[in-house]
Amino acid sequence: MIIAVFPGQGSQTPGFLAPWLELDGSRDLLAEYSEYAEIDLISAGITWDAEQIRDTKVAQPLIVAASLLSWRALGDQTAVTGVAGHSVGEIAALLAAGVLSAADGMRLVGIRGRAMAEAAALEQTGMSAVVGGDEAAVLGRIDELGLTPANHNGGGQIVAAGALAPLAELAADAPRGTRVIPLQVAGAFHTSYMAPAVDTLAAAAADVAASDPTRTLWSNRDGGVVTSGRTALDQLVAQVANPVRWDLCMTSFADAGVTGLIEFAPAGTLTGLAKRALRGVPSVAVKTPEDLAAATALLTGESA
């Protein structure tokens, strides 16, 4: 089983879309996505600096658009039997699974990004990755400080989210054997701070047509397989204010007999986690069009 995975916020870097726009039709497609998402994704992906593309309302549609461009560029996708996305990457996964149209997906991610940015502006919050250490001790310390374990990423990484003061205290007095790394995000995503964004996204999703998945689709909610398109969309909406259980997704990949993993642009984060949590499973990070040959080789079982 070859699984396609799509990354979440924080994976973008300045200028990363430039090589993708050299592919035939990509610039026109990105212009179309820009119209749906109501943001200039061409400029954002080529010329805007790190601070500009860190903005939630920019980063989210930019990441999903990049994932869709690289997914489209793969060409023959028939050997991809399963899909999953991390956080906002779930929107790209729903498109790859045939649940949403590109138009609806890009409209929703534009709305999601703007709504989460507005929710984040209401209070000063943030997120920090806690790497290593004893999981129970890490979760205990996060709870003690009144923070939320917003992302259970697997591979020895848990992301804490909440108010800035307790995040600073977590860094100053970290659990034994851990490193605490502040993340370049604008708010406490996947926590109760995002409740206003859930309401906005739910209203936008209410009239969206959702088809049942044509590939196996795993959810961030609990790592379970979702067979209903409407359920997948409802869970995606609720996930904005609930923890991402990527650890359970990877456990489900292993239980399903995963034989290869392909991460689409802007790639690298999820294959990095998989190397620790899915040891021995070959993976390809499709960062530029040059990586498509390796992805195709993994799909066909041939050498790149």
87 is catalytic: yes
The residue from 190, 219, 252, 283 that is catalytic is 190
Same domain, 110 and 55: yes
The pTM score is: 0.94
Q: List the beta bridge partners of residue 102.
A: none
Overall residue count recorded for the chain in this entry: 304
Same domain, 147 and 170: yes
Same domain, 61 and 132: no
Same domain, 115 and 209: yes
What is the reported pLDDT for 40? 97
- Residues 220-279 have pLDDT tens digits of 999 999 999 999 999 999 999 999 999 999 999 999 999 999 999 999 999 999 998 999
What CATH number does residue 217 fall under? 3.40.366.10
152 is catalytic: no
Helix (H) or strand (E) holding 232: helix 229-239
What is the reported pLDDT for 22? 94
Same domain, 240 and 198: yes
Contact 208, 100 (CB under 8 A): yes
Q: pLDDT tier at 48 (50, 70, 90 boundaries)?
A: very high
Same domain, 82 and 110: yes
The residue from 34, 70, 87, 283 that is catalytic is 87
Mean pLDDT over all residues of the chain?
95
Query: Taking 60 as the threshold, does the pLDDT of residue 287 lie above it?
Result: yes
Same domain, 201 and 270: yes
Domain end position, chosen among 141, 156, 182: 182
Contact 169, 163 (CB under 8 A): no
The 10 Å Cβ neighbour count of residue 79 is: 15
Same domain, 35 and 54: yes
Amino acid of residue 303: S
Q: pLDDT tier at 11 (50, 70, 90 boundaries)?
A: confident
Rounded to an integer, what distance in angstroms lies between the CA atom of residue 29 and that of residue 38?
A: 14
Rounded to an integer, what distance in angstroms lies between the CA atom of residue 84 and that of residue 28?
A: 26
Q: Are strands 178-182 and 216-217 parallel, antiparallel or unpaired?
A: unpaired
202: containing domain: 2-121+191-300
Same domain, 65 and 145: no
Q: pLDDT tier at 118 (50, 70, 90 boundaries)?
A: very high
Same domain, 177 and 195: no
Same domain, 49 and 148: no
* Overall domain count for the chain: 2
Same domain, 224 and 251: yes
Q: List the beta bridge partners of residue 270.
A: none
What CATH number does residue 155 fall under? 3.30.70.250
Nearest Cα neighbor of 183 from 69, 64, 56, 84 is: 56
What is the reported pLDDT for 100? 97
